[in-house]
Amino acid sequence: INRTQPTVTVLVDKLELLGYVTRYKTEEDRRVTVIRLTDKGRELEPIFHKVSKQLNEVLYGDLMEDQKKQLEFLLEHLLNRF
């Protein structure tokens, strides 16, 4: 998601505080933290899918499939430059 570890930690802290996720360490490797949606978090999935679909429609408009892939490639290329 192209965010620093401290930024992700702050975001997950907030989501956990609001009851949208839980986190725990794995028994196999205590360095690994697993983040899971709670029931409250899962309730938001339809909303996020709807918003995501609307954003894709705005972003891609009436582009053909090959044009969409080219746009994604170019945007990824630009993102990797920073």
pLDDT in tens, 7-60: 899 999 999 999 999 999 988 998 999 999 999 999 999 999 999 999 999 989
Tell me: pLDDT of 5 over 90: no
If you average pLDDT over residues 61-73, what whole number do you get? 93
Taking the whole predicted model, whether its pTM rises above 0.85 is answered as no
Q: How confident is the model at residue 79 (pLDDT cuts 50, 70, 90)?
A: confident
Phi-psi region of 34 (alpha: psi -120 to 50; beta: other; left: phi over 0): beta
DSSP H or E segment with residue 11: helix 5-17
At 36 the three-state DSSP class reads strand
